[in-house]
């Protein structure tokens, strides 16, 4: 029997998609021992937006969360999402920072690193792949799935072959916006299985309403692993239900072998927390439905929330349709990149600017400039030359080399800047990714330990000098 393996996402992408990554560690810990007995292939529990959210909103140390997860999930592989040369941030970092982050992630408990690049420029994955192999971790390289003129089956097959040559241990189809329809999933999986010897993992979202059907066709075509979420945090902009998919495959040649009763116990645990999130407004009904228009605009759930928020702040809530129609035009101008962090935020924000100002590219955020300048890498198609000319400064040329080749080593500089706050080696990485947010967290951490804030201490010392 060709058992299908399950990656459970409730501790990372599911709550990132439905409640903006706000699930605290305290809500996770009581159920972890039970989850460890289920037999998942892996639990995706770290990376993505969890790192930022821990520091910024939950006042938690993300590294301590990872260590806590490892203490409980002794028999289950821990998986994280890693944004290539961006790590978990929104800009490129030097190779020394990328390699050190990989090392510390594996040291603290990560077994599988899923790495992707928002442009599918695999030059931006080289350092993370080499570092993971060096640390004896499992490196899974993800294809950021999208549709468009350039993204035919030959494109995906060629890219998969290059990924296998890089040394990947497995391959992931990362369908962040729920664009992969069932028939295309069947074709794509067959092409990838024929073109490589790598296990294929499919990750999708329910946003367009296709996900469960897409999984079934992918599994029938030979997909080895699917990503699912415990039922209370499934569907909508999240993944299909773990319980439902396991039951659907039960008794078939793809039977997962997982015990449905154990899975239902996990779901029963998270159900009251889901209700709390709905009652408090943390889980909006806007993320719980499905919308086939997703296939038209290619806007992932998180990106849609950002667009709505930006328009609301500008008092222009009624212009969402205009912005959604502008998104594909901006994407085309920018070389038709997949829409995933950070390219989704860049394209979305530029679309909002174009609509609100009434003139396309009258206002250009610095991130749009970086993308057009080639600082994030190479897009699959050439950019609109008129738009490039309008955005770049006179005499400025687009970067064609690997962007990180232009970044000098950064770790010594980051260590020096945050020296006063360092309590563990990993703190320098928290600072490197989110300097201001990390400093605020470090100050909060110190205050919790001493009972007095650093600012209060400074004032006291000034008033009563020794």
> In this structure, are 245 and 143 located in the same domain?
yes
41 in Cβ contact with 261 (< 8 Å): no
Burial of residue 271 (CB within 10 Å: 0-12, 13-18, 19+) is middle
Whether 217 and 341 map to the same domain: the answer is: no
Q: Residue 466: inside a domain, yes or no? A: no
Strands (E), 70-159: 77-82, 112-115, 138-144
Q: Domain check: are 117 and 207 in the same one?
A: yes
Supply the CATH number for residue 234's domain: 3.20.20.70
pTM for this structure? 0.93
End of a domain among 363, 384, 400? Answer: 400
Domain that holds residue 79: 5-285
> Do both 56 and 125 map to the same domain?
yes
Q: Is there a single domain that holds both residue 24 and residue 132? A: yes
Residues 146 and 28 in one domain: yes
Output the tens digit of pLDDT for each of the chain's 466 residues.
589 999 999 999 999 999 989 999 999 999 999 999 999 999 999 999 999 999 999 999 999 999 999 999 999 999 999 999 999 988 899 999 999 999 999 999 999 999 999 999 999 999 999 999 999 999 999 999 999 989 999 999 999 999 999 999 999 999 999 999 999 999 999 999 999 999 999 999 999 999 999 999 999 999 999 999 999 999 999 999 999 999 999 999 999 999 999 999 999 999 999 999 999 999 988 788 888 888 888 877 667 777 887 888 889 889 989 999 999 999 999 999 999 888 999 999 999 999 999 999 999 999 999 999 999 999 999 999 999 999 999 999 999 999 999 999 999 999 999 999 999 999 999 999 999 999 999 999 999 988 755 455 454 444 333 3
If asked whether residues 16 and 101 sit together in one domain, one would say yes
* Domain finish residue from 400, 423, 457: 400
| Whether 353 and 281 share a structural domain | no
CA distance 213 to 206: 10
Q: Do residues 330 and 187 share a domain?
A: no
Residue 329 belongs to a domain with what CATH number? Answer: 1.10.472.90
Distance CA 48, CA 256 (A): 26
Residues 250 and 110 in one domain: yes
**280 lies in the same domain as 318:** no
Residue 425 lies in a domain: no
Could you give the number of structural domains in the chain?
A: 2
Which of these three, 354, 374, 400, is where a domain ends? 400
Q: Which helix or strand (DSSP H or E) is residue 165 part of?
A: helix 153-166
């Amino acid at each position: 029997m060709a058992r299908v393996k399950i990656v459970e996402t409730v501790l990372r992408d599911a709550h990132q998609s439905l409640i903006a990554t706000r699930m605290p560690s305290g809500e996770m810990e009581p159920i972890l021992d039970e989850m460890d007995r289920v037999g998942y292939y892996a639990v995706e529990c770290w990376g993505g937006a969890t790192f930022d959210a821990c520091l910024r909103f939950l006042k938690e140390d993300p590294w301590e969360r990872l260590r806590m997860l490892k203490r409980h999930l002794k028999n289950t592989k821990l998986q994280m999402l890693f944004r290539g040369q961006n790590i978990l941030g929104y800009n490129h970092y030097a190779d020394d920072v990328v390699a050190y982050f990989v090392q510390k992630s594996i040291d603290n408990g990560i077994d599988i690193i899923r790495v992707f690049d928002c442009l599918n420029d695999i030059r931006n994955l080289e350092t993370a792949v080499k570092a993971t192999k060096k640390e004896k971790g499992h490196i899974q390289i993800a294809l950021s799935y999208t549709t468009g003129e350039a993204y035919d089956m030959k494109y995906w097959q060629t890219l998969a072959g290059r990924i296998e040559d890089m040394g990947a241990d497995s391959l992931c189809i990362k369908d962040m916006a729920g664009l992969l329809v069932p028939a295309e999933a069947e074709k794509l999986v067959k092409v990838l299985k024929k073109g490589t010897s790598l296990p294929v993992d499919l990750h999708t979202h329910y946003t367009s309403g296709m996900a469960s059907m897409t999984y079934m066709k992918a599994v029938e075509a030979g997909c080895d692993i699917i990503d699912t979420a415990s039922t209370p945090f499934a569907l909508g902009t999240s993944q299909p239900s773990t319980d439902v998919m396991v039951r659907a495959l039960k008794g078939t040649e793809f039977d997962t072998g997982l015990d449905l009763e154990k899975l239902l116990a996990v779901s029963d645990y998270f159900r009251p927390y889901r209700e709390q999130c709905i009652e408090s407004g943390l889980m909006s009904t806007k993320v719980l439905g499905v919308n086939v228009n997703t296939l038209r605009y290619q806007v992932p759930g998180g990106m849609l929330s950002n667009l709505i928020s930006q328009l609301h702040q500008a008092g222009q809530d009624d212009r969402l349709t205009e912005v959604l129609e502008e998104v594909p035009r901006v994407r085309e101008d920018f070389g038709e990149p997949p829409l995933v962090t950070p390219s989704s935020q860049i394209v979305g924000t530029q679309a909002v600017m174009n609509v609100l100002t009434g003139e396309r590219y009258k206002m250009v955020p610095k991130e749009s400039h970086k993308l057009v300048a080639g600082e994030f890498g190479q897009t699959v198609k050439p950019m609109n030359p008129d738009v490039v000319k309008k955005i770049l400064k006179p005499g400025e040329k687009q970067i064609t080399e690997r962007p990180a080749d232009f970044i000098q080593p950064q770790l010594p500089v980051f260590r020096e800047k945050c020296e006063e706050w360092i309590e563990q080696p990993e703190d320098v990485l928290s600072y490197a990714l989110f300097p201001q947010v990390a400093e605020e967290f470090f100050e909060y951490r110190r205050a919790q330990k001493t009972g007095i804030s650093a600012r209060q201490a400074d004032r006291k010392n000034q008033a009563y000098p020794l």
